[in-house]
Amino acid sequence: MNETSELLNKIDSLEKELEEMKIQLDKSRNCRENLSQAMRMLPIVICELAPTTRILEVSEGGLELFGYSQTHLEKGLYGMDLFSNEDKPIIGQQIEDIKNGRQFTPQEYRIKRGDGSWANVVISSKAHFKNGTFSGFRIILVDVSDLEMYKRKIESTNMSFRHFADLIPQTVFETDQNGYFTFCNEAAERTFEYALDDLRKGVHVLDVIAPEEQEKAASNIKRIEMGMEASEHDYIAIKKSGVRFPVTVYSSLIVENGQIKGIRGILLDMSSRFEAKNNELKVEAQLFDVQKMDAVARVAKGVAHDFFNILTIIISGIELIQEKISSNRRLFEELEDIKQSAHRGSSLISKLMAFSTKQIISPRSVNLNELIHKSSDLLRSLCGENINLKIELDEKIKDIFIDELQLEQIITNLVINAREAITDSGTIAVSTGMALVEEHEIPIHLPHDRNEFALLQITDTGTGIEPDILNSVFEPFFTTKTNSSGLGLSTVFGIARQNNGFIRIDSTQGIGTTVRVYFQTAVQVSTPLPSTKELMLINSKAFKIFVVEDESMVLGAVTRILRRKGFTVFPFQDPEDALNVFHDIGNEIDLLLTDVIMPRIDGKILSDELLAINPQLQVIYMSGHNNIIVSEKGILLEGANFIQKPFTMNQLIHKVKSVLYNRS
């Protein structure tokens, strides 16, 4: 009975142990299943290899990684066959190292899969020894193919970024945390004149900033790193050659894992914008000068017409009296003083009108060299005995289209101005040449499609001009002399502008001044004017002239001058009367001398109607009005003949005979 009881107790105990073992087995099975599931979730493969590298066992997912089936494994699949020919010697050496007990260092390799594709894996290994003899080894493979793919994508993205950055015409850069360039696009090479390799190998960001700006730049970088300030800053940068230029820099921090790794930014070369701004300021200054000159001219033109008519009467009247009393020397000279005063008044108004396009001119093709040569004696007398005048004329000079009297005025004014700048003895050089002018240097009032100019240059060895007043020398009434009207250079400025030209002046105190006057070249070549001797041969009595002038005193003065010189004159104060008479005797009339602005019928309309009757009729227009008014009447056309009031008796006769000479 006792034996039976003990047996039952043992059976019960065994059942409990068996149940406990079953529980532990289930736990072990669950653990293995969990481990297997975890292994399947990880890109990890465990293999048992024989010393020959034959794969004996492989964890789940291993055959899928290798691209082989269970059948291949059973027939014999060798680990060495999975590696490329380049890697096999390295693997062989590592197996020998493992056999000798040395540690295997995990490394990345490429293995060839059964379908011919390649996988990237990191391999670590441990050798097995049985009774001190190498019996094989276990290897662990981690599939990093996706990581390699991501790495290639990142590299491709970085390459795309670099290619894109190279397309940007401004500098794109990155620096390390110490401020050295780690990346620059191709524009940086053009901007800073450094080779890209040099920029990326040791050039500090402060090396491309002007020395006086480096402290500011370093401070701004610190502020950016601390998040204290916006990332837009202006600096003066410096090229490798030392050339300085303005830049604007936009930058931000490069942060990885919460750590500042450097700065990334774009640098804009602002040179062109600064140049554009300077050009804009230059244009504004030119507009201001033009407006200032026009304001003076408007004052002048308000009184010019009536003033010139009065001066015409005074001057012509004095000259007629002088012809009659030439034997009375004292009275003659007193009248001469009055006449010269009238001329000075006329000159003053003409100069004021020259500041803008407010002067009637008779432009034609003129050879600058010929005019200077013809005026050389006058210029030498203006210089005086203590000043050496040098004249250097370029034979290749092209003609310019200009009023000849105005050109003479430019030359004489500049020579006089140069003479007054020389205190004792010195040299004045008058030279000519051709010059090509850059488009941005051509003033706004000139067409920019022609950049070839004839150049008149006057250089003196005088005292020079102070820099702070250099920009004021062309202003009307500006002068540094006690006995000067201040209209010399300003007159030159206005005349040059009126004749499609412009002026530049350079001066150094103690060395001298150079004034350059640029004229656009003429399309047609010049035609020589008749000489005085040729004009004297004209028989005045053979010509009949219609004179039409609504101012009776001017009409009387002009009529007396022409009749005194032998011309047959038909004077008319009313243009309609002139037209009616011309219908009867028009074919006998050689010349019409008419005022431009008259009531009812102006000079242009009158001349057109008379020319319709007699196409051979020559016409001279006279006026004291500004040329804007005259041009509205269609008078300011190439080839038209003008005489500006007030004129002298000799000027009138010379003009009339010149026109009649060309007719004959």
Amino acid identity, position 53: T
Which of 114, 143, 172 delimits the end of a domain?
A: 143
- Same-domain status, 263 and 381: no
Number of domains in the chain: 5
- Looking at per-residue pLDDT, the higher value among 198 and 247 belongs to 247
Say how far apart CA 21 and CA 39 lie, in whole Å: 26
Say how far apart CA 193 and CA 187 lie, in whole Å: 10
* 629-655 residue pLDDT tens: 455 444 444 457 888 888 888 889 888
| DSSP 8-state class, residue 571 | E
- Same-domain status, 136 and 158: no
Comparing 61-65, 78-82, 536-540, 600-604, which segment has the lowest mean pLDDT? Answer: 536-540
Indicate whether 19 belongs to any domain: no
Say how far apart CA 626 and CA 249 lie, in whole Å: 55
Q: Hey, what are 109's tokens?
A: 């390799």
Interstrand relation of 387-392 and 426-436 (parallel, antiparallel or unpaired):
parallel
- Kindly indicate the confidence band of residue 549, based on its pLDDT and cuts at 50, 70 and 90: very high
Instruction: Report the number of secondary-structure helices (H) and strands (E) in the chain.
Output: 20, 22
Indicate whether 90 belongs to any domain: yes
What ranges in 443-574 are assigned the alpha helix state H? 488-498, 532-536, 552-564
Q: Hey, what are 348's tokens?
A: 């003053």
* 342-381 residue pLDDT tens: 777 776 666 566 554 445 556 778 899 998 988 888 788 8
Question: In DSSP terms, which residues pair with 119 in a beta bridge?
Answer: 111
Highest mean pLDDT among 222-236, 526-540, 595-609: 595-609
* pLDDT at residue 293 in the model: 59
- Kindly indicate the confidence band of residue 482, based on its pLDDT and cuts at 50, 70 and 90: very low
Indicate whether 164 belongs to any domain: yes
- Same-domain status, 231 and 264: yes
Closest CA to 499 of 600, 357, 302, 347: 357
| DSSP 8-state class, residue 527 | -
Beta-carbon contacts of 614 under 8 Å, excluding residues fewer than 6 positions away, are 582, 586, 587, 589
Q: Residue 415 in 3-state DSSP?
A: helix
- Same-domain status, 409 and 389: yes
Helix (H) or strand (E) holding 114: none
- Same-domain status, 234 and 302: no
Q: Does the structure show a pLDDT above 60 at 42?
A: no
Which of 98, 127, 143 delimits the end of a domain?
A: 143
* pLDDT at residue 295 in the model: 63
Q: Hey, what are 179's tokens?
A: 């401020």
Domain CATH for 596: 3.40.50.2300
- Same-domain status, 493 and 394: yes
- Same-domain status, 62 and 187: no
- Same-domain status, 312 and 243: no
* pLDDT at residue 484 in the model: 45
* pLDDT at residue 612 in the model: 93
- Same-domain status, 103 and 165: no
- Same-domain status, 381 and 509: yes
Say how far apart CA 453 and CA 518 lie, in whole Å: 6
Indicate whether 317 belongs to any domain: yes
SS3 content of the chain, % helix, strand, coil (to 5): 50, 25, 25
Say how far apart CA 643 and CA 206 lie, in whole Å: 69
Mean of per-residue pLDDT scores for the chain: 79
Indicate whether 637 belongs to any domain: yes
Q: Residue 294 in 3-state DSSP?
A: helix
Give the Cβ contact number of residue 192 at 10 Å.
Answer: 26
Highest mean pLDDT among 243-257, 262-276, 287-301: 243-257
* 551-603 residue pLDDT tens: 898 899 899 989 988 999 999 999 999 999 999 999 999 999 999 888 888 88
Indicate whether 355 belongs to any domain: no
Say how far apart CA 657 and CA 534 lie, in whole Å: 10
Closest CA to 578 of 562, 306, 569, 663: 569
By residue range, what is the domain housing residue 580? 532-663
* pLDDT at residue 569 in the model: 94
Q: Is 335 within 8 Å of 369 (Cβ atoms)?
A: no
Domain CATH for 107: 3.30.450.20
Q: Is 418 within 8 Å of 388 (Cβ atoms)?
A: no
- Same-domain status, 35 and 120: yes
* 299-336 residue pLDDT tens: 666 566 677 778 778 887 887 788 778 778 888 887 88
Indicate whether 412 belongs to any domain: yes
Say how far apart CA 434 and CA 518 lie, in whole Å: 9
Cis amide leading into 211 (omega within 30): no
Q: Hey, what are 625's tokens?
A: 């009005």
The overall longest dimension of the chain from CA atoms, in Å, is: 191
Say how far apart CA 408 and CA 279 lie, in whole Å: 33
Provide long-range contacts, Cβ within 8 A and 24+ apart, for 530-534: 530/657, 530/658, 530/661, 530/662, 534/661
Say how far apart CA 524 and CA 531 lie, in whole Å: 21
- Cα atoms in the Cβ-side hemisphere of radius 13 Å centred on 647: 22
- Same-domain status, 133 and 154: no
Say how far apart CA 593 and CA 55 lie, in whole Å: 124
Say how far apart CA 346 and CA 533 lie, in whole Å: 29
Residues in the chain: 664
Say how far apart CA 419 and CA 413 lie, in whole Å: 10
Estimate the crossing angle of helix 603-613 against helix 575-585, to 10 degrees: 10
* pLDDT at residue 259 in the model: 81
- Stated pTM of the model: 0.39
Say how far apart CA 618 and CA 640 lie, in whole Å: 10
Which of 243, 269, 295 delimits the end of a domain?
A: 269
- Looking at per-residue pLDDT, the higher value among 7 and 66 belongs to 66
C-alpha R_g of the chain: 51
Domain CATH for 472: 3.30.565.10
Closest CA to 352 of 456, 475, 472: 475
Over residues 98-117, the mean pLDDT reads: 82
Indicate whether 99 belongs to any domain: yes
Q: Does the structure show a pLDDT above 60 at 527?
A: no
Q: Torsions phi, psi of 527, nearest 5?
A: -115, 135
Beta-carbon contacts of 507 under 8 Å, excluding residues fewer than 6 positions away, are 464, 465, 470, 513, 514
